Structure 1
Amino acid sequence: MKIKKERLLLIAGFVWSIAGGNILFIGLNTYAEYISIRNGALTLIVFFLFWLLVFKKLTRKHTKRIREYPDEKQFFWLFFDKKSFIIMFFMMTFGIVIRTQHLLPNQFIAVFYTGLGTALLLAGIIFLKNYIREQRSLKG
C-alpha cells in the first residue's frame, strides 16, 4: 500500500486524466446539437476560469506537497490531501445528480463539461509531466 513518493505524481496524473477525460467525453457527446461560436467562446471561458483559478494552482500545490514528503515510501492515496478528496466527492456527487435528474439543460452540460473536462485533463497531463521530470532528475 506504500509506494515511492514520486509515484504519487503518476497516480495523480492518471486520476486527473481519467476524470477529465470522462467529463470531457460527456461534454463532447452532448455538444453536437449546440455547436456555435457563442458556445465555443463560453467553453473557452469555462476552461480558462477553471484552469487559471483552480487547477493550475492545484497542480503546483500538490506537486510541491508530494515533493516535500520524506524519501521513505508513502501511502498511495496521499496524491491528494483530505480537502481535495472532499472537494472531489462533492463535485462528482453534484455532477451525477445534475445529469441524472436533468437539473440543467443539455446546452449547459455541453459547454460546462467540455470546458471543465479539458481543464481537468490538462491538470492530469501536468501531473504526468511533473512525474516524468521527477524521474529524470532522480536519474541525472
Structure 2
Amino acid sequence: MTKGKINLDHAPRIHKKFLPLLAGIVWGIASTAVLSIGIPSMVENWTMPWLCILIAAVIFFLFFKFVFYRLYKKHMKRIDAFEKDKICAFAFFDVRGYIIMACMITFGIVLRSLNVLPHVYLGVLYTGLGFAMVSAVIGFLSTFIRRQIQERKTQAN
C-alpha cells in the first residue's frame, strides 16, 4: 500500500451504476432524520407560520444552490470517472464528503443539546436543510432511474 492511499481490497464492491442509487438511499435516510426533527419543531412552536415557511424556503434555496446541488454534481462526476465497473460500495462519497457529513451530524447534535436557539428556529433551519438534502436524493435517484431506462432501451435494440 502506498503512502496516502486507503486499502479497500476487502471492502464490499458493487457495479458503479448502482452508486447513485446507494447515494440516494444514504441521503434519503439522512434527510428523513433531519426533517423528522425539523418539521415537528417548527410546527409545534410557530406563532407566524408564513414567516417560518418563508425563512425555511430561503434556507432551502441557499443550501440547495450552494451545497447540495454542487455536491450532487461533484459526486456524479466522480462516479462517472471511475474506470473499473466494480468499485467500493462506499465510493459514492470521497473522504471529504464523509468528513462533511460527520461534521454536519456533530454540529446538529451539539446545536440541539446546547439549547442556544429556540426550537422554532432550529425547526426552521432543519426543515430548510432537510428539504435541500432531499434535492440531492432526487438528483441521485433520478440519475439512476434515467440511466436504467437508457440501458434497457439500448439492450432492447
Tell me the TM-score normalized by structure 2: 0.85
Structure 1 residue 79: deviation in Å? 0.7
Structure 1 residue 92: deviation in Å? 0.3
Counterpart among 88, 99, 102 of residue 115 in structure 2: 102
The residue that corresponds to 1:12 in the other structure is 23
Which amino acid in 2 is paired with 1:17?
Answer: G
Which amino acid in 2 is paired with 1:23?
Answer: V
The answer as to 2:56 corresponding to 1:48 is no
Which structure 2 residue ranges, 5 or more long, are not aligned?
A: 1-11
Root-mean-square deviation (Å): 1.2
Which amino acid in 2 is paired with 1:120?
Answer: M
Contact kept, 8 Å, 2:19 with 2:79, in 1: the verdict is: yes
Large movers: runs of 4+ above 6 Å: none
The residue that corresponds to 2:70 in the other structure is 57
Q: Secondary structure at the match of 1:90?
A: helix
The alignment-based identity, stated in percent, is 39
Alignment size in residue pairs: 140
Structure 1 residue 138: deviation in Å? 2.4
Which fold has the larger relative contact order, with Cα–Cα distance below 8 Å and residues 6 or more apart in sequence? 1
The Cα offsets for residues 62-86 of structure 1, whole Å up to 9 and x where unpaired, read as 1121011114200001010111111
The answer as to 2:76 corresponding to 1:76 is no
The residue that corresponds to 2:33 in the other structure is 22
Distance 2:74 2:151 in 1: 21
The residue that corresponds to 2:4 in the other structure is none
Contact kept, 8 Å, 1:27 with 1:110, in 2: the verdict is: yes
Which structure 1 residue ranges, 5 or more long, are not aligned?
A: none
Which structure carries more helix by proportion? 1
Q: Secondary structure at the match of 1:80?
A: coil
Contact kept, 8 Å, 1:17 with 1:122, in 2: the verdict is: no
Which amino acid in 2 is paired with 1:61?
Answer: K
Distance 2:138 2:29 in 1: 10
Tell me the TM-score normalized by structure 1: 0.94
Distance 2:21 2:132 in 1: 18
